[in-house]
A and B are shown apart, each in its own frame.
Chain A
Amino acid sequence: MAYGILSFGAYIPRLRLQRKAIADAHGWFNAALKGQGKGERAIANWDEDAVTMAVEAGRDCLVGQDAAKVEAVQMASTTFPFLDRLNSGVVAEALNLGQDLAASDAGQTQRAATSALISALRGGPATLLMAAEKRPVKAASPLEMTAGDGAAALLVGEGDPVAKLIGSATRTTDFVDHYRTPESEFDYQWEERWIRDAGYMPLVPPVVKACLAKAGIDAADVTRFCMPAVLAKVANSVAKAAGIPDAAVADNLHAVCGETGAAHPLVMLVAALEEAKPGDRIMVVGFGQGADALLFEVTPAIANLPARLGVKGHLARRREEANYSKFLAFNDTIELERGMRAEADKQTPLSALWRNRHTATGFIGGKCSKCGTLQFPKTRICVNPNCTAIDTQENEPFSAKTGKINSYTADRLTYSPDPPACYGMIQFEEGGRWMMDFTDVDEKDLAVGSPMRMMFRVKDVDSQRGFRRYFWKAAPAAHSSGRA
């Protein structure tokens, strides 16, 4: 038994905004954007936020793992949907991890996830660490081009780790390259060249060297160097200054995903682990008011990890989006006339949410202990017309089940932030069914019998009260395509 990373997972939202669409919209105003109109960036669907993406990354990470062994959950982000409500608590409920669990949120800096990872790797409870970011960006800002939305997750604890920490180092200094406050909604950023020359270059190499020294590893023996940095070649320059071979510098996923903020060090680490072989040494760096560096050695156990989507699989689960105004509308960057139907009150009584949390957040249904029929939601009287036994329902989680479309429509009348609203009856193979919203689906792909998987999403946004409620939706079932 040893301590380390036991499993990993990731989530990249399916929509990929073409940067050319941004450049075409704003090139008239900011000519510098024209040159950046290459590749694509991941954008969250309207019903995704840092919490829902953390849930998906967490599920991906827990493939083949015993979720009952998780003793602590931690979520790192600078874009938590709730400022005073434990975001990792929502995640834990959605993942059905039970109540005997420690939970905490880590935020405030781009290195929130790497700092949390250093803490988790000091030993202690088995921790599911998720980092997720849905980045707010101003229209026509450079960040709009370079940012991406996404999440990654690591399970850290005692067991047969796929990667062991062999060294870490950290430095803290109040270097303010950008900031965001509750009053300011968007990042305010200083000049990129200054960030490179006065920030990355003097601050990071010493931390990398300290980390290598602690591990007793020669810089030349680092096989993968994962450091998010938007400005081209900064990671290469840092690596060079620390003596790490240029060939080890990891792709920052700019062309296919964009930088996912505080989640990005873990997204890059997971991408590296997906390609890693035993003996590889992977360094990951988080930069923000100082720097964290962690050095891992990959173990033979990595070959035994069951397939998952990970970064690679989620990048392959992709739909090009060339409609820039849809991105603006999804993020409320422009105020659309949404029509009177959008005015319907979306209040969630918190007392009812608490009472129904296992149903609404956990997607827990029932299984009749008398006749074995599965049903959603759980009710006191069994739904089977030939049974109707009272108080025989045991908890039956539905979130991992695959269902099939029994009936469907694409509705252009009802209010939806992304019309047409697609929904229909989902029938689960083992039993149970529910009339559900669909998500991440194209109208042309709807057919009776199509397999659908469950995804945790924002159901409604209560703009009157600043609340959002979550529930599960059906999305086309994707096949695992991670490590072969």
Chain B
Amino acid sequence: MAKGIRDKVAILGMGCSKFGERWDMNAEDLMVEAYTEALGDAGIETKQIEAAWLGTAIEEQHVGKSAVPLAVALRLPYIPVTRVENYCATGTEAFRGAVYAVASGAADIALALGVEKLKDTGYGGLPQRGRGTVPNMTWPNASAPGYFAQLAAAYRAKHGSAPEDLKRAMAHVSVKSHDNGGRNAKAHLRNKITIDTVLNSPMIAEPLGLYDCCGVSDGAACAIVTTPEIARSLGKKDLITVKALQVAVSNGTEAQHNSWDGSYFATTRIAATRAYQEAGVQKPRDEISLIEVHDCFSVTELVTMEDLHISAEGRAIHDILDGFYDADGTIPCQIDGGLKCFGHPIGASGLRMIYEMYLQMQGRAGDRQRKDTPRLGLTHNLGGFPHQNVCSISIVGRYEG
């Protein structure tokens, strides 16, 4: 394996728009909202940016194709701008483009911006859309909750979990994220809920009820990255650097080969192992201090705790109910509210997670600041469906160099 990019790239500045139903904003306005914060935080000018990546997943709902919308919205100075899309891992993919540009020496300062404008559909949930000419012929006419809900059926069958135990742990996941979202002024959903709220909510896709599903939001998030040396030369202290960036993409094995049992994410397990190796993490449960995972649905978060090798297989229910992942637990998960409550503007989500790590590690997270400043954090995105998906993992942390 290549030696990786650990500590080659530092975060110079970050920004994040308020997430939610931004009826008064176009995607371009959201981009500028996240960008101006990041630019101010970085303390640079637009002309210093040498390359940029735009991440957006359902571009037909807002900006259309290509990277041009980003270049125009930010008035970028005729630099290379690239648009990336990789399902819900899109935001992290934009980040990866910018980070790799700096790590390779191709650019001194690069920008990644993720944006999604989902609330122009006229209904709740993700846009109903085709999956491509040939998939449309043979794929079920499914929704995202319908695909992810199946994790529960397979997980119960594999571990012999009682449906009510699983459902209760899933409910705890959502209650915890609502508690956390309430302390985040930029979050989409800020109301407190109870276990009963979740258990009694209308069924969306068995066994996922309304409160097992994340918010569908408008929003944008932005990162400006450079080398640690340049960051220091620009007067930055307490640097946060990238320790690992890994992506694993299904190759059809889960969808077509009977070696996968449907209860976990094959991609996450592989990407996590590679990311720990790149970051030099030996025992993630002891070394990682904060995680932001792709909690598109409560059950996704639950099985992901095992796929990240933090909870032992079959033990996520217990860790969750024990409060291990609560804001005041051992390793808080979604301390900013997560996709569930911060919201899920697809292209922005991966960058939003890194934004939270960046704030927490600098002690700038306000009401939700973790008392012991986190040193090493992991973010995780999943795009697609349990049986065929894209998983991205980043590990960021304090720069010790």
Segment of A27-35, A217-225, A427-435 in the binding face: A427-435
Query: B136-190: which have CB < 8 Å to A?
Result: 136-143, 145-147, 149-151, 153-154, 156-157
State whether the Cβ of B256 lies closer than 8 Å to any Cβ in chain A: yes
Per DSSP, chain B at the interface is: loop
Residues in A213-243 with C-beta less than 8 Å from chain B: none
CA distance A437 to B146 in the complex (A): 11
A410 and B204 CA atoms in complex are apart in Å by 8
Contacts of B123 in A (CB 8 A): 339-341
Q: Is residue B6 contacting chain A, with contact meaning CB distance below 8 A?
A: no
Known contacts A340-B123, A421-B146; A448/B157 CB under 8 A: yes
Stretch at the interface among A17-25, A147-155, A373-381: A373-381
Measured in the bound complex, the distance between the Cα atoms of B142 and A423 in whole Å is: 8
Give which listed residue, B138, B153, B156, contacts A424 with CB less than 8 A. B153
Chain B residues in 8 Å Cβ range of A484: none
The answer to whether the Cβ of A406 comes within 8 Å of any Cβ in the partner chain is: yes
Contact for B128 among A341, A349, A356, A471, CB less than 8 A: A341
In this assembly, does B203 line the interface, its C-beta being within 8 Å of a C-beta of chain A? yes
Q: Does B259 reach chain A (CB closer than 8 Å)?
A: yes
Chain B hits for A435, CB < 8 A: 139-140, 142, 147, 255, 385, 387
Tell me which of B136, B146, B205, B261 contacts A406 (CB under 8 A): B261
B1 part of interface (Cβ distance < 8 Å)? no
| Alpha-carbon distance between A436 and B135 when the two chains are bound, in angstroms | 12
Asked if residues A383 and B256 are in contact (CB atoms below 8 Å), the reply is: yes
B350 to chain A: closest CB distance in Å?
24
A424 near B150: Cβ-Cβ < 8 Å: yes
The one of B129, B203, B385 that contacts A412, using a Cβ cutoff of 8 Å = B203
Decide: A411 near B146, CB < 8 A? Known: A352-B134, A352-B137. Answer: yes
A123 at the binding interface (Cβ < 8 Å): no
Does B125 sit at the interface, judged by CB under 8 A? yes
* Nearest CB of chain B from residue A225's CB, rounded to whole Å: 46
Q: Are the CB atoms of B256 and A376 closer together than 8 Å?
A: yes
Query: Counting CB contacts under 8 A, is A129 at the interface?
Result: no
Q: Is B233 in the interface zone, CB < 8 Å from A?
A: no
Neighbouring A residues of B134 by C-beta, 8 Å: 352, 356
A482 at the A/B interface (Cβ < 8 Å)?
no
13 A-B pairs whose Cβ atoms sit less than 8 Å apart in the complex: A340-B122, A349-B133, A359-B138, A406-B262, A409-B146, A410-B205, A415-B128, A423-B146, A433-B258, A435-B147, A435-B255, A437-B140, A460-B136
Excluding A384-B257, A415-B141, A420-B205, 16 further A-B contacts by CB distance (< 8 Å) are: A340-B123, A345-B130, A349-B133, A360-B138, A375-B257, A409-B149, A410-B203, A411-B145, A411-B206, A412-B202, A412-B204, A423-B141, A424-B150, A434-B256, A435-B385, A471-B137
Q: Which residues of B are interface residues toward A (Cβ below 8 A)? A: 121-123, 125, 128-130, 133-134, 136-143, 145-147, 149-151, 153-154, 156-157, 202-206, 208, 251-253, 255-259, 261-262, 385-387
Q: Which residues of A contact B (CB under 8 A)?
A: 339-341, 343-346, 348-349, 352-353, 356, 359-360, 373, 375-377, 379, 383-385, 406-416, 420-421, 423-425, 427, 431-437, 443, 446, 448-449, 459-460, 469, 471
